[in-house]
């Protein structure tokens, strides 16, 4: 392990919710919950104001509504968050060539590799400047941890939340870790934590006292050795600049189980198209098509087909996904569908026979759509206004959807740099109202949203 705290861990504070508050002046300082709003939705992120009520990520949305009934509930805008993330990651890459993103809002940086820091004082200065730069560019806050290892840097950033900076000086790690809960260590989830608790082990110090042999007996060889090393603050993992994607996939969970086989087929084709868009955004192609189906009884089936070469052709992926669907029994209803592509490459080698089949699939889509009853086609083409998403009105300008239903949509008209705006209600098919791109959070600093 190195002798200076030159590994930095950045974790943006309540990222999705904070981005929504920055974008919507009327929500600043208020409880905001971002996630799926249907009966089976889960919380993606909750603002710190919502966390006071016990709301947290991965919680069922129905439970969150019971805990915080007056919070603002919004559907995620992943393209918007990704654009902000790219701004933040750009700042990190100015510090070092070794940046390891863990998610849109979290990353490790090896400051020593970039010559940005070499001791505690220089590392602290870099961390403070980074936080200021992030606020200047995005208007958001991030918490920074600095330590001599990845594990300790991540623990430090957690201690720094929200909007802070914590440095763990080399030589103080054992004393700092000792009284902490075993759940502080990476890889100790609820199940492992309960197992250790039943053995009378509650703190990191008690892991060390128990000894390596006892941990191996309790948890197995690999987990026991690894956990004992972490309790001693040993972590030699390097910051890895590129984490190669192994697959690209999309999936949807439905509020009501889908029973109609035609509808299931249409959903699979729609998911295939979304998956291909993500492939192309990443400049990738893939040769293995994967279909995921979760049925009414929560049983999950996965089917795959490997093509003769990598593809990013939507017709080829749609046709392969439909072929896989033919072998799945959807009797009783489907609650989740997913389409993925693995075996990734940065080139395509199209299978002419698969392409020919794909062209037939395009025609099949049109034929199937014609078989859908007129009432259902009307539902498909009806304009949908999603809570939290951006709109523009010909007369009132930029705003965002507060809610919709019963043929009406409610919009609050405001921008990131305005005062809280007025609320107005329109018919859902008002020709003066249209979907819009997000506005920059900081004036003069553009945010380009990628379509997802």
Q: Which two tokens stand for residue 249?
A: 């996939």
Is 434 an active-site residue? no
Q: Is-contact 273 318, C-beta < 8 A?
A: yes
Catalytic residue among 20, 49, 100, 106: 106
Active site residues: 106
């Amino acid at each position: 392990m190195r002798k200076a705290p030159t590994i930095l861990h950045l974790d943006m504070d309540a990222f999705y919710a904070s981005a929504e508050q920055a974008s919507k002046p009327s929500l600043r300082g208020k409880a905001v919950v971002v996630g799926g709003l249907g009966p089976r939705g889960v919380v993606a992120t909750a603002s710190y104001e919502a966390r006071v009520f016990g709301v947290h990520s991965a919680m069922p949305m129905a439970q969150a509504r019971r805990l915080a009934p007056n919070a603002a509930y919004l559907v995620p805008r992943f393209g918007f968050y990704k654009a902000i993330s790219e701004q933040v990651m750009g700042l990190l890459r100015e510090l070092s060539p070794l940046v390891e993103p863990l998610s849109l809002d979290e990353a490790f940086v090896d400051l020593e590799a970039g010559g940005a820091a070499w001791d505690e004082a220089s590392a602290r200065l870099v961390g403070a400047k980074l936080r200021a730069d992030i606020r200047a560019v995005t208007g958001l806050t991030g918490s920074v941890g600095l330590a001599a290892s990845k594990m300790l840097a991540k623990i430090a950033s957690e201690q720094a939340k929200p909007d802070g900076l914590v440095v763990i000086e080399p030589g103080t790690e054992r004393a700092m870790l000792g009284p902490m809960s075993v759940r502080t260590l990476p890889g100790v989830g609820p199940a492992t934590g309960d197992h250790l608790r039943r053995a009378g082990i509650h703190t990191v110090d008690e892991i060390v006292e128990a000894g390596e042999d006892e941990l191996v007996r309790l948890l197995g060889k690999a987990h026991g050795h690894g956990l004992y090393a972490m309790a001693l603050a040993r972590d030699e993992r390097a910051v890895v600049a590129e984490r190669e994607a192994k697959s690209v996939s999309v999936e949807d969970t439905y509020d009501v189980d889908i029973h109609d086989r035609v509808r299931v087929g249409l959903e699979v084709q729609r998911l295939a198209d979304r998956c291909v868009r993500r492939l192309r955004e990443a400049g990738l192609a893939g040769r293995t098509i994967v279909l995921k189906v979760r049925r009414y009884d929560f049983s999950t089936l996965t089917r795959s087909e490997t093509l003769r070469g990598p593809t990013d052709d939507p017709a080829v992926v749609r046709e392969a996904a439909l072929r896989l669907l033919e072998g799945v029994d959807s009797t009783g209803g489907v609650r989740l569908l997913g389409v993925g592509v693995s075996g990734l490459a940065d080139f395509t080698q199209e299978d002419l026979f698969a392409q020919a089949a794909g062209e037939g699939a395009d025609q099949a889509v049109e034929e199937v759509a014609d078989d859908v009853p007129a009432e259902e086609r009307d539902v498909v083409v009806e304009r949908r206004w999603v809570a939290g998403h951006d709109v523009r009105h010909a007369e009132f300008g930029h705003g965002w959807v507060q809610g919709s239903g019963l043929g009406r949509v409610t919009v609050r008209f405001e921008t990131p740099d305005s005062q809280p705006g007025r609320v107005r209600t329109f018919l859902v098919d008002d020709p003066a109202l249209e979907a819009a791109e997000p506005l920059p959070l900081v004036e003069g600093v553009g945010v380009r949203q990628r379509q997802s």
